Amino acid sequence: MAAKDVSALFLDTLKDIYYAERQIYKSLPKMAKAAASDELRTAFEKHHDETEGQIERLEKIFEMLDKPVRGKKCDAIEGILNEGKEIMEEYADTPALDAGLLAAAQAVEHYEISRYGTLKAWATKLSMPNAVELLDQTLNEEKMTDDALSKIAVSTINAEAA
Ligand SMILES: [Fe+2]
């Protein structure tokens, strides 16, 4: 594949994740408000703050490319977030709510981990070390968030069983 094709893909995917991050940023406070456990609410609030920084990193990469900061509607994240919204509605005030919220949030994290992994690989190919570093920082935050959610999921299930 020619370098030019990868750079077009890179910009397109950057717009996709930029749109996704902004949607996630809007959704996290709603998920935090819905969460029954303090631990889960705190995790969502923490990731909301992190997401703000992740959006700023993406804006820096648009600048590096000398391109306008622009999102592009991402159907994948719309679908994942809509499923989360359905869970919040259908399982409101039930003991399963937090388990459902955790599952929805982990689906979001896995989508992001996939996107950032790809973008990092493409930035490497395009010889953009500064972008690689920014993407790597975000990738690590997403992975740590996913791990934290996994741990909460285990303790939530254990608490349910008790
Ligand atoms: Fe993110």
Tens digit of pLDDT for each residue in 80-135?
999 999 999 999 989 899 999 999 999 999 999 999 999 999 999 999 999 999 99
Which residues contact residue 124 at a Cβ distance below 8 angstroms, ignoring those fewer than 6 apart?
Answer: 132
- Number of Cα atoms under 13 Å in the Cβ half of residue 19: 16
CB 19 within 8 A of CB 73: yes
Mean pLDDT computed over every residue of the chain:
94
Compute the chain's Rg from CA coordinates: 17
Distance, CA 141 to ligand 1 centroid (Å)?
A: 8
Distance, CA 111 to ligand 1 centroid (Å)?
A: 9
Rounded CA separation 74/77 (Å) = 6
Residue 65 tokens, joined = 């490319």
Distance, CA 162 to ligand 1 centroid (Å)?
A: 33
The backbone region for 88, taken as left when phi is positive above 0, alpha when psi lies in -120 to 50, beta otherwise, is alpha
Question: What is the pTM assigned to this prediction?
Answer: 0.93
